[in-house]
C-alpha cells in the first residue's frame, strides 16, 4: 500500500488553485485546460487505453492478441486477466481487498461494438470474472448474472472455485476490523478498477471492466463496474467511456453513458469526461461521500482521440498505439489531492 502512496506523491501534478475542500485544493484557474486537446490529439488506431498502472501489463497483453489477429473480446479478456491474477493488485481479482466479512467479491463486464454485453456481479471464488462476463455475453440470453447464479454458471462453464483471499489481504482486513471505520483511502482502497477501452484496426470499439470493488464494503454491495452505462458504456457510432472511483457516485450519475452522450453531441473525449466529473462534483459537494470521493473517466472516440479526467489528482491511465508504444499518462483533474 505504501508503494502506491509513494507513487501517487511522485506523480501528483503541481498545485495551482487556492480554496481548500477537505484536504484538496480546488483548481480555480486550471492551467491544465490550456493543454486541452494536446493529450490524445494524434488520432491513431488500433488504440487501447486502460485505467491505472496495472493497465500497462494489461495493455501489453491485449495489444499482443490484437496483433495476432485474435478477436477484440479475446484480447480484452487476456489483458484483464493479468491484473486479476496478480496478488499485488489489491483492487482486482485474486488478492483484492475483501468486504467487511472477509469475502472477496468481484464485479466485471465486457461490451462489444454491436452492443452485446456480458456482466457478473457479487461473484465469489472465481479468479477471472472477466472470463465469466464474456461467457455471459456469448453463451446466455442475458446481460447480467449475479452472486450464486453467476458462480453456478461459471462452474457449469468449467471454471473452478478457489480461495481468492490472500494472507496479506486477510491481515489487512483484520487490521481494518479493529476500528471498522468505512472511509476508503482515496486512490488506494476504492479506486483501482481496471477499465479498458479498445478501438480496433477496423475502427470498431469494445471495452471491459473488472474489480474487487471498494475495500471493506458491506457484504452484497455491488459497484459501478458491472453496470453497463455506469462503469462502462460504448456506442460504436460515437465512442466509449469507462469509470474508476467510487462506484456509488458513478451509478447515481450514469457516468459512462453520459460521457458517451456528450461525445455524440460533439464534445471531445476530454471535454466530455471533464463535464461529467464536474457534474458528479456538483451533485456530491454537500454529500457524505465527498470525504472519500474520487471518480475518474477514460474515453475515446471513433477518430482515435482519447483522454482521462478525474475529480482528484493521482489518477493515471495506460495508452498503447502504433506510434508511441505502451506508456502511462497522468489524467488532468479538478482538485489537487494532498494525501
Ligand atoms: N469503481 C469500483 C467500485 O466502486 O466498486
Give residue-wise pLDDT tens across range 56-115: 999 999 999 999 999 999 999 999 999 999 999 888 898 899 999 999 999 999 999 999
Please tell me the predicted confidence (pLDDT) of residue 16. Answer: 23
Report the percent of the chain where pLDDT is more than 90.
76
Domain count, the chain: 1
CA dihedral 323, 328, 332, 335 (to 10 degrees): 180
Q: Between the CA of residue 252 and those of 31, 109, 230, what are the distances in Å? A: 29, 18, 8
What ligand 1 atom has the least distance to the C-alpha of 243?
Answer: 1
Residue 21 pLDDT: 27
Per-residue pLDDT averaged across 242-268, rounded? 97
| H-helix or E-strand spanning residue 138 | helix 129-139
**Within a domain: 121:** no
Q: Which of 122, 193, 216 to mutate to test the pocket of ligand 1 (most atoms within 8 A of CB)?
A: 193
Instruction: Compare 47 and 22 and report the one with higher pLDDT.
Output: 47
**Among 174-178, 181-185, 266-270, 302-306, whose mean pLDDT is lowest?**
181-185
| The Cα angle at residue 197 between residues 253 and 244, in degrees rounded to 5 | 40
Give the pLDDT of residue 180: 87
Distances (CA, A) of 66 to 119, 127, 240: 22, 23, 18
Higher pLDDT, 8 or 172: 172
Beta-carbon count within 10 A of 257 CB: 19
- Where in the sequence is the domain holding 304, given as residue range(s)? 4-85+184-337
Tens of pLDDT, residues 214-242: 999 999 999 999 999 999 999 999 999 99
Phi first, then psi: give them for residue 58, nearest 5 degrees: -65, -45
Q: Above 70 in pLDDT, residue 185?
A: no
Give the residue, by CA position, lying nearest to ligand 1 atom 5: 213
Three-state secondary-structure class, residue 183: coil
Residue 223's closest CA among 298, 129, 154?
129
Q: What is the mean pLDDT of the chain?
A: 87
Give the range among 15-24, 53-62, 269-278 with minimum mean pLDDT.
Answer: 15-24
Mean pLDDT for the stretch of residues 130-150 = 98
Q: State if residue 226 touches ligand 1 by the CB under 6 angstroms criterion.
A: no
The answer to whether residue 256 sits within a structural domain is yes
Pick from 41, 59, 61: nearest CA to 50: 59
Is 293 a pocket residue for ligand 1 (Cβ < 6 Å)? no
Q: For a pLDDT cut of 70, what percent of the chain falls above it? A: 85
The structure's pTM equals: 0.87
Mean pLDDT value of segment 192-218:
95
Is 20 designated active site? no
Greater confidence (169 vs 182) lies with: 169
Note whether 298 and 273 are within 8 A (CB). Answer: yes
Pick the atom of ligand 1 nearest to 222's CA. 5
Rounded Cα gap, residues 273 and 259, in angstroms: 6
CA angle 52, 58, 59 (to 5 degrees): 90
Nine cell digits for residue 226: 458491472
Does residue 245 have a pLDDT over 60?
yes
Report the alpha-carbon distance of residue 291 to residue 289 in Å, rounded: 5
The closest-lying atom of ligand 1 relative to the alpha carbon of residue 246 is 4
Mean pLDDT, rounded, for 23-27 = 33
Q: Would you call 82 helix, strand, or coil by DSSP?
A: helix
Q: What is the pLDDT of residue 183?
A: 75
Q: Assign 193 a pLDDT band (cuts: 50, 70, 90).
A: confident
Spacing, Cα 182 to ligand 1 middle (Å): 14
**Ligand 1 pocket residue status of 193, Cβ below 6 Å:** yes
Looking at residue 291, what is its pLDDT? 84
Side-chain half-sphere exposure of 309, counting CA atoms within 13 A? 31
Q: Which residues contact 240 (CB under 8 A, 6 or more apart)?
A: 197, 199, 205, 206, 207, 232, 233, 234, 256, 260, 299, 300
Check 193, 210, 211, 253 and give the catalytic one.
193
Say if residues 319 and 48 touch (Cβ distance below 8 Å): yes
CATH assignment at residue 230 = 3.60.20.30
Task: Tell me the Ramachandran region of residue 12: left when phi exceeds 0, alpha when psi lies from -120 to 50, beta otherwise.
Answer: beta
pLDDT over 80 (residue 312):
yes
Q: Is the CB of 247 under 6 A from ligand 1?
A: yes
pLDDT, residue 42, reads: 58
Amino acid at each position: 500500500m505504501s508503494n502506491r502512496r509513494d507513487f501517487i506523491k511522485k506523480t501528483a501534478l503541481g498545485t495551482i488553485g487556492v480554496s481548500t475542500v477537505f484536504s484538496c485544493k480546488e483548481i480555480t484557474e486550471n492551467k491544465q485546460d490550456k493543454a486541452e486537446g494536446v493529450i490524445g490529439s494524434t488520432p491513431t488506431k488500433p488504440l487501447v487505453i486502460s485505467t491505472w498502472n496495472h493497465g500497462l501489463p494489461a495493455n501489453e497483453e491485449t495489444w499482443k492478441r490484437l496483433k495476432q489477429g485474435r478477436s477484440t473480446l479475446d484480447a480484452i479478456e487476456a489483458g484483464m486477466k493479468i491484473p486479476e491474477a496478480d496478488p499485488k493488485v489489491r483492487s482486482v481479482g485474486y488478492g483484492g481487498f475483501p468486504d467487511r466479512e472477509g469475502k472477496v467479491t468481484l464485479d466485471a463486464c465486457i461490451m462489444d461494438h454491436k452492443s452485446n454485453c456480458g456482466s457478473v456481479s457479487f461473484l465469489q471464488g472465481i479468479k477471472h470474472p472477466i472470463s465469466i462476463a464474456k461467457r455471459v455475453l456469448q453463451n446466455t440470453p442475458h446481460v447480467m448474472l449475479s452472486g450464486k447464479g453467476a458462480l453456478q454458471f461459471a462452474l457449469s462453464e468449467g471454471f473452478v472455485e478457489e480461495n481468492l483471499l490472500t494472507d496479506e489481504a486477510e491481515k489487512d482486513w483484520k487490521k481494518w476490523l479493529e476500528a471498522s471505520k468505512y472511509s476508503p483511502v482515496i486512490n488506494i482502497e476504492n479506486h483501482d478498477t481496471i477499465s479498458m477501452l479498445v478501438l480496433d484496426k477496423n475502427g470498431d470499439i469494445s471495452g471491459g471492466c473488472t474489480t474487487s470493488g471498494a475495500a471493506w464494503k458491506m457484504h452484497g454491495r455491488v459497484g459501478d463496474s458491472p453496470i453497463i452505462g455506469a462503469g462502462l458504456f460504448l456506442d460504436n457510432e460515437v465512442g466509449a467511456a469507462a469509470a474508476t472511483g467510487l462506484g456509488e457516485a458513478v451509478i447515481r450519475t450514469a457516468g459512462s453513458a453520459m460521457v458517451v452522450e456528450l461525445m455524440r453531441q460533439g464534445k471531445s473525449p476530454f471535454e466530455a469526461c471533464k463535464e461529467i466529473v464536474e457534474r458528479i462534483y456538483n451533485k456530491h459537494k454537500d454529500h457524505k461521500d465527498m470525504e472519500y470521493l474520487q471518480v475518474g473517466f477514460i474515453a475515446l472516440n471513433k477518430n482515435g482521440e482519447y483522454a482521462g479526467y478525474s475529480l482528484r489528482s493521482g489518477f493515471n491511465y495506460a495508452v498503447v498505439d502504433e506510434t508511441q508504444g505502451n506508456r502511462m499518462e497522468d489524467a488532468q483533474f479538478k482538485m489537487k489531492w494532498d494525501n
